[in-house]
Structure 1
Amino acid sequence: MAMTAVPGAAPQTKAARQARIRALLAGSAVRSQAELAALLADDGVQVTQATLSRDLVEIGAVRVRGADGGLVYAVRGEGGDRSPRLGQAPEVLDARLAKLCAELLVTAESSANIVVLRTPPGAANFLALAIDHSVIPSILGTIAGDDTVMIVTRDPSGGEAVAARFLELASQGA
């Protein structure tokens, strides 16, 4: 029997559920576990309150004061920045990515649906993480080495446009 992948489908695993929780907390101000459970249910993920509570502890989610003064869930940043991160607007993420591209992008080349970004040694993982945190619908995923980031685009011929976008971001952030 042949298996086919459903575009955007995620396995019903603990890791996939926790990744979705992180994404929801990063993308919006979630005030309660009930609200988070409803958002997960909208995505087709059914979870009990006990499981959700354990997941929040395991991913290091904390409640912090939001912009309006109310308590919202936030997850700690990765890498050197361990402070809790509230949901960030796409404009903020784009500005951060533009700044990083201006500082770290050496070259951007493409072939079909693959983009290869070169960075100074040791910087590829940092740039790939910023790309992963940005919401760029045309990007399926990234893989990073020491000085190279490989991006796979959703469109079979979308690499050229994505490479051009990163070069544009680098000149915007300069």
Structure 2
Amino acid sequence: MKNDRHAKILELIEQYPIDRQEDLLAHLNEAGFSVTQATVSRDIRQLHLIKASVGDGKYRYVSSVSAKGPRHSQGRFETIFRESVLKADWAGHTLLVMCYPGMASAACELFDSMQWDFDVVGTISGDDTFMALMRTEQDAEAICHELQQYITRH
């Protein structure tokens, strides 16, 4: 029952811009799950859901943890990347992405989960920076320029 409910929650937050527990509770009830506010709150914690900005001062629940394999949608990538990354640069075959303190690991995991048209050899992450080794200098430059469009200037 719990696994089915968790799967439904993940489906609902992908389908609808849900930003409040009460809205998630209503959607679950409509889907035939009889749950309480306390259960929804616990499910949100267990699923590691976070509220991410979607622009215009609005937020929605998104999953902060991915299952094995690429699961992140382009919209989710853009939202989380904008909230995590300060700057991207490249030198030679290396892409350097500077993040807010504590955010590099999440941003790197998100980067790794995406399907790129560039040849990424591998990545490594620290606390506030991650690096990606690219197959060619052209790949490093091109992906850097692509990532820069997702970075919010403060």
TM-score, normalisation: structure 1: 0.46
Matched residue, 1:134: 114
Change in 2 beyond 3 A, CA 1:93/1:108: same
How many angstroms does 1:94 deviate by?
Answer: 1.6
Matched residue, 2:23: none
Residue identity over aligned pairs, in percent, reads 20
Give the gaps of 5 or more residues in structure 2: 12-46, 50-62
Matched residue, 1:116: 96
Q: Distance in 1 between matches of 2:80 and 2:91?
A: 23
Q: Distance in 1 between matches of 2:74 and 2:101?
A: 23
Q: Distance in 2 between matches of 1:97 and 1:83?
A: 11
TM-score, normalisation: structure 2: 0.51
**1:140 aligns to what SS in structure 2?**
strand
Deviations 1:84-123 (A, max 9, x none): 9789988x52211111221111111101111000001100
Note if 1:149 corresponds to 2:117: no
**2:149 aligns to what SS in structure 1?**
helix
Q: Is the 8 A contact 1:105 1:170 kept in 2?
A: yes
Q: Distance in 2 between matches of 1:124 and 1:108?
A: 12
- Looking at secondary structure, tell me which structure has more strand per residue: 2
Give the gaps of 5 or more residues in structure 1: 1-61, 68-78
Number of aligned residue pairs: give it: 99
How many angstroms does 1:169 deviate by?
Answer: 2.6
Question: Over aligned residue pairs, what C-alpha RMSD do you find?
Answer: 3.7
Change in 2 beyond 3 A, CA 1:87/1:117: closer
2:142 maps to a residue whose letter is A
Moved over 6 A (4+): 62-65, 82-90
Matched residue, 1:74: none
